[in-house]
Amino acid sequence: MPKILLVFTGGTIGSTVLNGTIDTSQKQGFKLLELFKNNYPDSQQFQFKTIQPVQLLSENVFPSIWEKLIQAIEAENISQYDGIIVTHGTDTLAFTAAALGLYFNSIKIPLLLVSSDFPLDKLQANGLSNFNCALQFILQRAEKGVFVPYRNQNKTTSVHIATRLASCLQLSGDFISVQHKTYLQFENNTFQQLCSLDKSNCQPVKLNPIFSKKVLLIKPYPGLDYSLFKLDQVDAVIHDLYHSGTACAALDWGNHYSLSAFIEKCHKSDITCYMAPAIKNTEVYDSTQTLVKLGAKMIWNMSIESAYVKLLLGLNNFVDSHAVDHFLTTDIALEHVERQQ
The 10s digit of each residue's pLDDT in 127-166 is 999 999 999 999 999 999 999 999 999 999 999 999 999 9
Residue 69, pLDDT score: 98
CA 59 to chain centre: 13
Q: Classify 304 as helix, strand or coil.
A: helix
In whole angstroms, give the CA distance from residue 252 to residue 222. Answer: 13
Instruction: Report which of residues 197 and 133 the model is more confident about.
Output: 133
Residue 47, pLDDT score: 97
In whole angstroms, give the CA distance from residue 8 to residue 29. Answer: 6
Q: Exposed, middle or buried by CB within 10 Å (0-12, 13-18, 19+), for 206?
A: exposed
Asked if the model's pLDDT at residue 216 lies above 60, the reply is: yes
pLDDT (mean) for 184-191: 97
What's the CA angle centered on 58, arms 53 and 62, to 5 degrees?
75
pLDDT category, 28, cuts 50, 70, 90? Answer: confident
The strands making up 236-240's β-sheet, listed across from edge to edge, are 215-218, 236-240, 272-276, 297-298
pLDDT (mean) for 13-23: 92
Type of residue found at 140: Q
pLDDT (mean) for 311-337: 97
Asked if the model's pLDDT at residue 341 lies above 70, the reply is: no
pLDDT category, 339, cuts 50, 70, 90? Answer: low
pLDDT (mean) for 225-241: 97
**Residues above pLDDT 70, as percent of the chain:** 99
- What's the maximum distance between 2 C-alpha atoms anywhere in the chain? 66
Sign of CA dihedral 6, 12, 17, 23: positive
pLDDT (mean) for 175-190: 96
In whole angstroms, give the CA distance from residue 238 to residue 308. Answer: 7
Residue 25, pLDDT score: 85
Asked if the model's pLDDT at residue 253 lies above 60, the reply is: yes
pLDDT category, 26, cuts 50, 70, 90? Answer: confident
pLDDT category, 274, cuts 50, 70, 90? Answer: very high
- Give the residue from 119, 151, 111, 146 showing the smallest Cα distance to 133: 151
Residue 338, pLDDT score: 79
pLDDT (mean) for 189-216: 95
Question: Is 163 within 8 Å of 98 (Cβ atoms)?
Answer: yes
The mean predicted confidence, pLDDT, of the chain is: 95
Asked if the model's pLDDT at residue 41 lies above 90, the reply is: no
Find the length of the chain. Answer: 341
Residue 30, pLDDT score: 85
- Write the pLDDT tens digit of every residue in 43-73: 899 999 999 999 999 999 999 999 999 999 9
Sign of CA dihedral 204, 205, 210, 213: negative
Residue 27, pLDDT score: 76
Instruction: Report which of residues 26 and 8 the model is more confident about.
Output: 8
